Structure 1
Amino acid sequence: MKLALSILFLLFAHTVSARVKLPSVIGNNMVLQQQSQAKLWGWAKGNAQVGITTSWNNKEYKVRADAAGNWMVKLVTPVAGGPYQIAFNDGDLVTINNVLIGEVWVCSGQSNMEMPLRGNSSPILNANDIIVNADNPQLRLFTVGRAATLSPQTDCKGQWNESTSETARDFSALAFQFGEMLQKKLRVPVGLIVSSVGGTMIESWMGKSSLDGFPEVKVPVSIDTVKQPYKLPTTLFNGMIAPLLNFDIKGFIWYQGESNRHEPQLYGKLFPVMVADWRRQWQQGELPFYFVQIAPYGSADKSRSGPLLREAQLKAMSIIPNCGMASTMDVGMEKNIHYMNKTIPAHRLGYWALGKTYGIKGIGYNAPLYKSITIDGNKATLSFYFANYLTSFEKPLTLFEIAGKDKIFYPAKAVLKGGQVIVESGQVKVPVAVRYAFKEFVVAELYNNDGLPASSFRTDNWDDIR
């Protein structure tokens, strides 16, 4: 009897171990990137042959697992559509259902990306109306479970869900509204993968090798006794980005920087390196990377750390290929870093994706960008890219400052003339430099006719910020 039970147990164990195991990002309700060489991968018994059959073409792909049971296959996805099934068979059949083919975006960063539609200590503007109208079987949502490790992981916690009022409520408010805009405009399935943790610095989201050139960033050798390991370099890349690297996507949206505001110069160096490393590890070329500039916040900090971090992000646009920045100069809150209006930055990211990545004509996505300064007597004339006309929407311009060679800035009178701003002050006879909105908290005044606000900027590069 004992022998029979032992044989039965071994047979059962063999059956379980032989069954194909898939990473959480490959499962029911997922979206695969359309018209791509999409990768599917997982684990099986060592050296087992795995057959994968896709219902959109009824084609079977065969792959043999290595000795450790790892396997991967590339398959060609069709144009957007579905729902489909994908069957995996190594002797035991595993089938995933309700699979769509469409557009997939990874959405990452810290708390203003993580903040769900239900809100937290702060509410989300118009959340209940957004939640009520969230039912959309063509929009799929995946949130990566929080995980901080010192070694790159091959899997993460999470599951794909159809967008409903229930599932959208706990999903990133910003990412949801970005994806909703894309889905409605493109009329194809959209999949959103959110990987975000509040209160984190960019170093947490960077792989170890990408930090080799930064000796000032110390990668820990152990996190066993650390209470908040997700705040340490490399830990979130390893736990929450590495498991996604094989999943083909269309692009990234990113909202992070508040936790790096007191090291703007270092951030300006780290950010392009992180983007380049993510692209290298995804192995899909220069994937679109659209990011939100941190919003104005607070007024007690006299070091100008906020505008300096915004400046570092603004400069990144000229360093990082195929990127774009959404300005939030008009939605920040002086006393709350988690501002309520996530619709505006979500839509501005959507403008970048729709206009630049998908090539839809007529959509403005570039905000006014400072181009040059010309001095004539006591007046400074500023010119801009992406602004044939500038506007303040009939409100006075109060955020310009002007300085002479003494580097002392005075409030300036500013007048719009087409796509230029003419700035002067009776206290500055020979202007040398102009700044706009270069403070911790401001509310935007300068826009182009697409309603996009100019970033804070300065024409000088003086280290002595006053």
Structure 2
Amino acid sequence: MKKITLLIVVFLCKMSLAQVTPNPLFQNNMVLQRNAPIAVFGKAETEKSVTVTFKNKTYNTKVKNGNWKVYLDKSEAGGPFELSINGKNEITLSNVLVGEVWLCSGQSNMEMPVKGNIGQPVIGSNLAILNSANTQIRLFEVGKKAAAEPLDNCEGTWKTATPESVKDFSAVAYFYGKMLQENLNVPIGLINSSWGGTPAEAWTPNEIIKTELKEFSHWKSNMSKPQKLPSLLYNGMIHPLESYTIKGAIWYQGEANKTYHQSYTKLFSAMIGSWRSRWNQGDFPFYFVQIAPLSWGGDDQAFLREKQLKTMLTVPNTGMVVTLDLGEKENIHPAEKQKVGQRLALWALAKTYNFKGIEFSGPIYKSMKVVGNKASVQFNYAPNGVANFGKKMSGFKVAGEDRIFYDAQAKIVKGQLEVFSKEVQTPIAVRYGWSAWVDGSLFNTAGLPASSFRTDNWDN
């Protein structure tokens, strides 16, 4: 009898190995990307082919080295649908929607949930949670995993937006997705893959580190926390997602790189390019958040913000949200997560979804001219000029030929910014927000804040 039981167990184990299994991203309640070929993929141990059925159409694909992948036809937004996968077994996934899928990644300011953390609130969280039930928004939280080699699978569950699921999901990602859903009126899928305190190199493939970012390649012997090591979060939390069809990505990170900001533009640009290359969906939109002011941490923060701005200005199809007006002196996690998510959504609505008539970026320094003892500064993304909305204008400095910066006064005259100081007779350089802490007071007339900037390129 024991031998018979053992044979039955072995037989059942072999049968389970023989079954076709979809990648763990394919579950009930998932969202598939509309208006693009939809990749469906997974594993198969013994089958030679796999059949996928979706919206009354059947697709066949061969199994190669235990892996299979099929591309479904482009689909309009809608649902719920069923998706069936057949080998020797049949799996039917239900309550599947087709809409817009966005990857959301970064460090703690992206990770911070709608409910907030102990001692770190999110403004408006309780009412946002109360009113969050929406069958058209779906959430997937990628399990934290630092891995020495690229992984094919990740842990996580697709959940419909409810007060219970939303309260523990990324606040920035949720508010971003909510605003998209309200304006696009299509299903939204949000995949959150973030981990607090992590640098950008941890999210970058190893081969990019070795070939383009060699200055980071020696760190594996110098750092103890695995989630901070180059490539380990890419391996465990990004690589498993790469075959899943998405629309684009949003990103909130930078604080962990501020003390060695010199290579950040190079690093961040390479990371964005590597993700786009591996998804093989072209230069998909990538919108990110500039770090907020903070009283501790030194002026490295201003240089890091500049490196983020340079990334936006040099990498195609990117956009940057400024938070110079949202910072908190002693809190690295500003509470205004709703505004951050909404500002990211403005970029997407304007640039990805072609909404017309809206502003989506705050003022970005364009040029400067000197008239007498005053510097007049011009900006892009300020079609009606700049404004301060009644806030005291602060954070401005000017320097003359001696390259010594003095605190400066700033005035807005008919929408134009003028900066001057009695200490400087002929200004040759202007800086704004060039310090660890600044309370942003410069906006365009749409109320979007200007990035910190400098007109010089001096070393200090």
Q: Sort the TM-score into its range (normalised by shorter chain).
A: over 0.9
Structure 1 300/233 Cα, relative in aligned 2: closer, same or farther at 3 Å? Answer: closer
Structure with the higher fraction of residues in helix conformation: 2
In the alignment, the residues of structure 2 paired with residue 427 and residue 11 of structure 1 have an alpha-carbon distance, to the nearest angstrom, of 87
CA distance in 1, matches of 2:24, 2:396: 51
Partner Cα separation in structure 2 for residue 18 and residue 159 of structure 1: 24
Give the counterpart of 1:398 among 390, 394, 404. 394
**Larger mean Cα displacement after TM superposition, 241-250 or 395-404:** 395-404
Tell me the distance in 2 between the aligned counterparts of 1:107 and 1:277.
Answer: 16
Match of 1:432 in 2: 428
Which letter maps to 1:422?
A: E
Runs of at least 5 residues in structure 2 that lack an aligned partner in the other structure: none
The answer (yes or no) to whether the contact 1:117–1:173 under 8 Å persists in 2 is yes
Question: Does the aligned pair in 1 maintain the 2:220–2:229 contact within 8 Å?
Answer: no
Choose which of 170, 173, 176 in structure 1 pairs with 2:171.
173
- Specify the SS of the correspondent of 2:330: coil
Alignment of 1:108-119 (within 5 A): 108-119=105-116
Give the equivalent residue in structure 1 for 2:373: 378
Which secondary structure does the structure 2 equivalent of 1:217 belong to? helix
Is it true that 1:411 corresponds to 2:407 in the alignment?
yes
Query: Per-residue CA shift, 1:285-308, capped at 9, x if unaligned?
Result: 01000000000012462xx10111
Once the two structures are TM-superposed, the CA of residue 227 in structure 1 deviates from its matched residue by: 5.6
1:160 aligned to 158, 161, 164, which one? 158
- Read off the aligned partner of 1:444 and give its amino acid letter: G
Q: Deviations over 1:414-451 (max 9, x none)?
A: 22123421111111112110111111111111100111
Equivalence map 1:78-93=2 (5 Å): 78-93=75-90
CA displacement at 1:239 relative to structure 2: 0.2
Matched, 1:213 2:212: yes
The share of aligned pairs that are identical, in percent, is 45
Task: Give, as a single letter, the amino acid of the residue that structure 2 aligns with 1:216.
Answer: E
Q: Deviations over 1:134-188 (max 9, x none)?
A: 1001000001000001211000010100000000011001100000100111000
- In structure 1, what is the equivalent of residue 51 of structure 2? 51
Quick one: distance in 2 between partners of 1:61 and 1:206? 34
| TM-score between both structures, scaled by the size of structure 1 | 0.95
**Aligned residues of 2:394 and 2:440 also touching (Cα < 8 A):** no
Kept in 2, the 8 Å contact 1:150–1:222? The answer is: no
Written as runs of structure 1 = structure 2, the 5 A alignment for 1:84-103 is 84-103=81-100
SS of residue matched to 1:134: coil
In 1, are the aligned partners of 2:394 and 2:438 still within 8 Å (CA)?
no
Contact 1:140 1:161 in 2 (8 A): yes
| Alignment partner, residue 142 of structure 2 | 144
Pairs within 5 Å for 1:16-415: 16-54=16-54, 56=55, 58-66=56-64, 68-121=65-118, 122-211=120-209, 212-218=211-217, 228-299=225-296, 301=298, 304-387=299-382, 388-415=384-411
In the TM superposition, what whole-angstrom CA distance separates every residue of 1:362-406 from its partner, at most 9, and x where no partner exists?
Answer: 221021111111112211111111212210012332221111011
* CA displacement, residues 12-38 of structure 1 (integer Å, 9 cap, x when unaligned): 223211222122211111000002111
Counterpart-to-counterpart distance in 1, 2:301 and 2:327: 12
Matched letter for residue 334 of structure 1: K
Q: Which amino acid aligns with 2:213?
A: F
Cα gap change, 1:335/1:142 in structure 2, threshold over 3 Å: closer, same or farther?
Answer: same
Letter in 2 for 1:389: G
| Cα shift readout 1:252-308 (whole Å, capped 9, x = no counterpart) | 00000000011122112111111111100000001000000000012462xx10111
The code of the aligned residue for 1:137 comes to T
CA distance in 2, matches of 1:410, 1:119: 39
Q: Does the 8 Å contact 2:203/2:230 carry over to 1?
A: yes
C-alpha distance in 1, partners of 2:455/2:95? 54
Task: State the AA in 1 paired with 2:311.
Answer: A
Residue 403 of structure 1 contacts residue 432 of structure 1 at CA under 8 Å; is this kept in 2? yes
Q: Counterparts of 2:322 and 2:255 in 1: how far apart (Å)?
A: 14
Shift of 1:413: 1.9
Computed over aligned residues only, the root mean square deviation of the Cα atoms, in angstroms, reads 1.6
The separation in 1 between residues aligned to 2:81 and 2:30, in whole angstroms, is 10
Q: Which runs of 5+ in 1 are unaligned?
A: none
Q: Deviations over 1:86-132 (max 9, x none)?
A: 11111211111110000000000000000011211311111111110
Change (3 A) 1:253 1:300: closer
Q: Which residue of 2 aligns with 1:446?
A: 442
